[in-house]
A and B are shown apart, each in its own frame.
Chain A
Amino acid sequence: MTVYLPHTIEEATALLEAHPHALVLGGGTDVMVEINFNHRKPSDVVALRNVDELRTWTINNETSSIYIGAGVPYSEMESGELQKVAPALAAAARTVGSPQIRAAGTLGGNLGTCSPAGDSLPVLSALNAEVHLASSHGVRSVPFAEYMVGPKRTSRTATEMITGVTIPKANGWQGYSKVGVRNAMVISVASACLAIQDDMVRLALGSVGPTIIRCVEAEKWLHENFATLTDLQPADCAEFGRRAASEARPIDDHRSTAEYRRHAISVLAQRLLQRSIQS
C-alpha cells in the first residue's frame, strides 16, 4: 500500500488521475473502520491532511454565502462563527459521534461516504448546497440533490475529489433534530432539517430513504396555503408533520422499524416547524 501526502488540491487531483483506484483519506473515521473490518483493502491512498486549503471556511457577505472546505472538522462547525451563520449545520455537527470523532471527522468525509444517515447531509439538502468537485480536468459544482444519487452512491467520478460546499448564510430560523436510541453518540434512526431561507420553509429528511429526502410536497403545501408562518396553528404544524412523514420511504432494520421512523418524522417535522414560529 502506498500513501500519498499531497499539499495542494492540484497535487491531489493529479494523484487521483494517476491512480484512479486510490482511496481518498480525510479524517479517516469512516475509512479506518472499513479497513479494520477488512471491507476495504486499498492499494493506494491519497491522504488529504496536508492540503491546508481544504481546511478553510469563509463567509462571503456580498453573496451572503458560506464556503466550507471538505477538510473542515465537525468541531469547527459546532460552535463559534460558523454556528452563528449556519445554526442547523452546527446542530447536526454536534450530534456526530463523540468529541474525538468530531475533531477528526470532516464534511468532505460525510459527503464521500454519503450514507442516508450522514448527519450533515439533510442540512446540505435543505440549504440547496452546492458541492464542489475538482479533477485534473477542472472543477464543477453540483447541487446536493444531484450529488447524492443513492445509498452511499454519488455522481462523483473516481478521479474527482470534493473540495468543499457552498451554503447560504442563514436568513431565517433553521434547526436539525435527530432521533437515536441513546442520548449521544448514536447513528440516526430518523432525522430532519428545517430551514427557513428567503421566507421559504425547506425540509429534508435523513435515515428514512435511500437518499436524503427533500419534502417538496409538504413544502409546497405550506407555501400555497399560508401567506405567512405566523398564521400557522398547531393543527397546521401537525398536518405538515403528517405530510412530511408520507414523503418518507423508511425501511425496517435492526436499528428500528419503518413504522416508527415514519412516525418519528411526523413528530420531528411538526416540532421543528413549531419551533421556527416560536422564535
Chain B
Amino acid sequence: MSSVKTRRDVLGTSALRPDGPAKVKGEFDFTSDLHADNMLWGATLRSPHPYARIVSIDASSALKIKGVEAVVTSEDVPGQLTYGLISSDQPVFAKDFVRYMGEPIAAVVADHPETCRRALDAIVVNFEVLTPLTNPEDSLNQSVPSIHPDGNVIRNQKIVSGDITATGPIVVEGDYVIGMQDQAFLGTESALAIPDADRKGVEVFVATQWLHEDQKQMAACLNLPEEKVRLTLGGVGGAFGAREDISLQVHTALLALHVGRPVKMQYGREESFFGHVHRHPARVWMRHHATAEGKIVKIEARFLFDGGAYASTSSAVLINGITHTQGPYKCANAIVDGYAVRTNNPPCGAMRGFGVVQACFAHEGQMDKIATAAGISPVEVRLLNAMETGDALITGQIVESVAPVARCIRETAALPMPDPLSPNAHELDLPGGSGLTAQPHNIVRGVGWGVSIKNIMYSEGFDDYSTARCTVIDGKVTVKFATSEVGQGFVVLAPQIARSVLGLDDVVCDTIDTNIGSAGSTSASRQTWMSGGAVDGACRMVRERIFEKVAAENGLNPLSLVIEDTDIVDSMGTFRIPVLQAVQGSVFSEEFEHHHRATEDLDDDGQGNCHVAFAFVAHRAVVDVDPELGLVKVVQVATAQDIGVALNPLSVTGQIEGGIAQGLGLAVMEEIIVQDGKVRNPSFTDYLLPTALDAPNVVASFVEEYEPQAPLGAKGVGEPPCISVTPAIVAAIRNAVGKDIPRCPVRPQDICL
C-alpha cells in the first residue's frame, strides 16, 4: 500500500460520498445523459382530457413524417395490457378510455426528439369527451357510475379499538385538508433500452427506486421471461416516491424491441408532472376526546384519500394513514374509517411520508386544540400523551421499537430559539423576501409544534427482503446489491459497513443491476435497515470464512478471532495479523438475504401487527408572518430525531435538512392545482419549491438509542424529517395570527382574508 490512512471511513464517520464531487461539478452521468450508437428517441402521446372515450386513433400522417420509425398503441403490447404496484389496473396505453389528463395513448419512435414532437402532433385521436369524476366524495356514492372496471372505491378499512363509547370532558374536532404535493425530483424520468439482437430480450438503463419490481412488471407487459429483461440503474436525480411506479419503462423497452434499435426516452418538466404519481390530496376529519388534564381518551376519525385514476399504492397509503391516526401518543379507544377512492384526477401514490403526512397534519392540529382546551402548552400536551416502548397502537400492535418520544420533545424544546426579529432586520429576511412588501413592524412571530411516528419498511405481510453479495479478492472488497441509489447515500454506507465488519479499506460498490436478487424498494425509510442488513450479513459471512482460514493456518479456534481495526486478533491469546495480509491470494464470496420479521394483515376491525418498526421525531417551527398580506418566512426549525445510531452523521443531517425543506414546501407553497381534472400548474414557474430565501435555519439534535431490532442499530431517517415539520409550521402560523387554518399548503388568502 502506498499511503497510510489515518482515519478510516468506517461506520459512525461522516465518510464522503463517492458520487459527490461529480455531482457538484456537473459531471455525474444521470440517466438522461446516456447514449447508445444508432439510438432512436421515443415520446409519448398523452390525453388532453381527464375522462373520455377513445373513438379512434389515426397515426397514418405521423408515420409519413421522415425519420419516424413507428407508432405503437395498446394493440402493440405483446403481454399484459396493464401494470400496477399492488393491483394491475393501469393500462400501458389507454385503449377504450382515458381516465386522467396526461394518460399515455401511444408512443412514437423517431430519429430526433423534434421529429417525435411533430409525429405526436400528427396523430389524430377522436375522443368522446365525458364528464370527469373529480370530487372524491362522489366516488363513495353508489349511484355514481364506475370510471374503471375495478370500481370507484380502491379500499375501505376500519379500525375499531377499545371502548368506542368512551368520552371525556374535552372534545375537539377538526376537518383537515391536505393538498396534492409533487415529489419534484430534479432529474426527470429517463430510460435507455437496448434490444438483444434476436429481439427476445432487452437491456434497460433506468432511473428507478426498485429494479426488480420494474423488471417483473415490464416482463409481464412485454411477454418476456423476467431474466430476459435486464435492468441497470441509471444515474438517479432524486425520487421521493415518484419512481416507485412504472412511468416510461415499458414504453421504452417496447419501442426498442419493436424497431430493433436502442431507444431513449426522457420526460421534460411539464411531462414529468403527468408522468408520475403524486402525494394523495386528502381530507381528514378527527374528533378527540380527552380528560380535563388533556390526556387522550378516544379518537374518532375519517380519512378520504383521492387516489386519482389508477390504484398505484393507494391501498397501502390508506393503511399507513389510518394506522397512524393517534400519532406518537398513547390512545386506547378509537374508531376510524378510511377510504382511498378513484377519480379522474391525476393518479397518486408514494411520496416521502406515505399517508402518514396526511394523518400527522390532522392529529397535530388536534393536539394543539386539546392543549388549548386543557389550558396547557403544546409541549405539555405532547409530553403528557407521549408514547413509550411497550404501548399498544389502536391496531393492537405493541410498539417494540425504541420509542423516545418524550426525549425527542424535550431535546427539541432545549434547542436554542432564534433571536427575536430585529427592528433593523434585513429586508430580504422578512416575509415577502425580495418582493419588499413589509417592514419589521408589520410582522408577527409564531411558534408551533409537530411530533410524529412513522412506520419503517413495508407492512401488511409483505416480505420486502434485501440481497447483497460481498466478494473479497486479494483484500479488495466488492459489494454487490440491487439497491437503488436515489440520493440517500447507500453507495457510501455500504462500503462503510464492509470496512467496519472486515477491517479492510479498499471497498467498491459493483454495478447496481438485476444480476443479483432484489433489494426491495428505496422507500419506506428502509434501505439502511434492509440493504444495510444484507451487506452486513454478507460481509459477516465472508469474515467467518476468513476466520476459518486464518484459524486453520495458525492452529487457532475461529470462534475466538475478532477484527480489531484492520487486524485479526485472537481474543484468547496473542495472535495478531493484518486482515489485508491474511487474505492475500484468497478469494471469498458470500451472498446474504436480509428479511425483516413477518407482519400481518389487518382484520375487519383494523387489528393486527401490520408494521415492522417505528421511528419518531419532534419539530418546533418559528415562523414570521405578515398577517395583512398572508406572507410567511420560516425562520427556524428545531428538531430532535430518533435515529437509532448515526452510521454517517453527515448523511443523517442531509436527510433532516432536505426533509424539512420538503415539509416546508407542503406547509406553505407546494401544490399541484387541479381544476375539473386538469392540472393548472405543471411547471416550476407555478409549482413553487422553496428557494434559499424560503429555507429555514435548521438546528438538529440526534436522539441516539440503539435499536435492537435493526441489524446495525440504526433506524431509517429518510421520511420522519418531512412529516411533522408541516404541521409545526402551520401551527406556528396559527399561533402568530390566532386563526384556525385547517388546510395545507397555507395560501396567503387563508391567513389574511
A interface list, Cβ under 8 A from B = 36-38, 91, 94-95, 175-189, 191, 254-257, 259-260, 263-264, 267-268, 271, 275
Give bound CA distance, A183 to B668, whole Å. Answer: 11
- Would you list the 10 A-B pairs with minimal beta carbon distance, nearest first? A183-B433, A254-B680, A178-B435, A183-B693, A260-B749, A184-B693, A184-B434, A177-B437, A184-B691, A182-B688
Cβ–Cβ < 8 Å partners of A178 in chain B: 434-437
- Say whether A256 contacts B436, CB under 8 Å: no
With contacts A38-B117, A257-B749, A267-B628 known, is A95 near B435, CB below 8 A? Answer: yes
Interchain CB contact under 8 A, A184 and B436: no
Nearest B-chain residue to A266, judged by Cβ? B628
B686 at the interface (CB under 8 A from A): yes
- Determine the chain B residues whose CB is within 8 A of the CB of A179 once the complex forms: 432, 435, 437, 629, 631, 748
B665 to A, closest residue via Cβ: A182
Task: Provide the residues of chain A in CB contact with B628, threshold 8 Å.
Answer: 267
User: Separation in Å of the B444 CB from the closest CB of chain A?
Assistant: 15
Interface assignment of B753: CB less than 8 Å from any CB of chain A? yes
B435 → chain A closest CB, angstroms: 4
A42 to B428 CA separation, bound complex (whole angstroms): 39
A38 to B120, CA, bound (A): 13
Q: Would you call B747 an interface residue if the criterion is a C-beta within 8 Å of the partner chain's C-beta atoms?
A: yes
CB <8 Å contact, B439 and A275 = yes
A-B residue pairs in contact (CB < 8 Å), sample of 20 = A95-B435, A177-B435, A177-B436, A178-B434, A178-B436, A178-B437, A181-B747, A254-B673, A254-B675, A254-B680, A256-B747, A256-B748, A259-B749, A260-B630, A260-B753, A267-B628, A268-B437, A268-B629, A271-B439, A275-B439
Q: Which residues of A contact B442 (CB under 8 A)?
A: 271
Complex interface: chain A residues within 8 A of B691 (CB): 182-185
Count residues of B near A (Cβ-Cβ below 8 Å): 38
Q: Check B752–A263 contact: CB distance below 8 A.
A: yes
Q: Which of A38, A95, A254, A259 makes the CB contact (< 8 A) with B436?
A: A95
The B interface, classified by DSSP as helix, strand, loop or mixed, is loop
- B interface, CB within 8 angstroms of A: 117, 268, 270, 428, 431-439, 442, 628-631, 633, 668-669, 673, 675, 680-681, 685-686, 688, 690-694, 747-749, 752-753
Q: How far is the CB of B741 from chain A (nearest CB, A)?
A: 15
A30, chain B: closest CB distance, angstroms: 11
Query: Distance in Å from the Cβ of A252 to the closest Cβ of chain B?
Result: 10
Q: Are B748 and A184 in contact (CB under 8 A)?
A: no
Interface centre among B434, B629, B694 (most CB of A within 10 A): B434
- CA separation between A94 and B753, bound complex, in Å? 28
Which residue of chain B has the shortest Cβ distance to A180 in the bound complex?
B435
* Residue on B nearest A189 in the bound complex, by CB: B748
**Minimum distance in angstroms from A121 CB to a CB of chain B:** 15
List A contacts of B631 (CB < 8 A): 179, 183
Contacts of A177 in B (CB 8 A): 432, 435-437
Closest chain-A Cβ to B736's Cβ sits at a distance in Å of 16
Q: A254-B673, A259-B749, A260-B749 known; A183 and B688 CB under 8 Å?
A: no
Minimum CB–CB distance for A202 against chain B, Å? 18
Q: Which residues of B contact A268 (CB under 8 A)?
A: 437, 629
Task: Tell me if A181 and B753 are in contact (CB < 8 A).
Answer: no
Q: Which residues of B contact A180 (CB under 8 A)?
A: 435
Are B629 and A182 within 8 A (Cβ)? no
* Given A256-B749, A260-B749, also A184-B433 (CB < 8 A): yes
Contact A187 B686 (CB under 8 A): yes
B48 to chain A, nearest CB (A): 15
Please, which residues of chain A bring their CB within 8 A of the CB of B747?
A: 181, 256, 260
